[in-house]
């Protein structure tokens, strides 16, 4: 297997007193290496990452820049439509769609 960029594994533990130094280290490493960073606090991810992958239940559900993902996640995710179908027929059809939960 050939990697397009050098790969090194760096494990960073939660050291909140050194958060700024860790951010700088990750940014510096990111200039040369691909850095895989797992975190759940959006503000930290926004401060460090150029691109974000979101994985839920083992599936990739989003991949984009942090700001674009933030806008997407904060907007309403609803769909409105008008149909000529009878109510029970529409409920039957919609009931078969995945709920996303």
Kindly report, residue by residue over 6-24, the tens digit of the pLDDT. 555 554 544 455 677 788 8
Compare 19 and 62 and report the one with higher pLDDT: 62
pLDDT at 35 over 70: yes
pLDDT of 30 > 60? The answer is yes
Does pLDDT of 80 surpass 50? yes
Quote the pTM value: 0.49
Q: Write out the DSSP string of 30-62.
A: HTTS--------HHHHHHH-SSEEEEETTEEEE
């Amino acid at each position: 297997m050939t990697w397009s960029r050098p790969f090194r594994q760096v494990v960073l533990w939660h050291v909140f007193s050194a958060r700024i130094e860790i951010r700088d280290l990750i940014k510096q490493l990111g200039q040369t290496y691909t850095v895989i960073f797992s975190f759940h606090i959006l503000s930290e991810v926004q401060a460090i990452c150029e691109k974000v992958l979101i994985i839920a239940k083992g599936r990739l559900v989003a991949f984009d820049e942090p700001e674009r993902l933030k806008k997407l996640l904060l907007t309403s995710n609803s769909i409105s439509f008008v149909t000529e179908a009878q109510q029970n027929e529409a409920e039957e059809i919609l009931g078969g769609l995945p709920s996303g939960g």
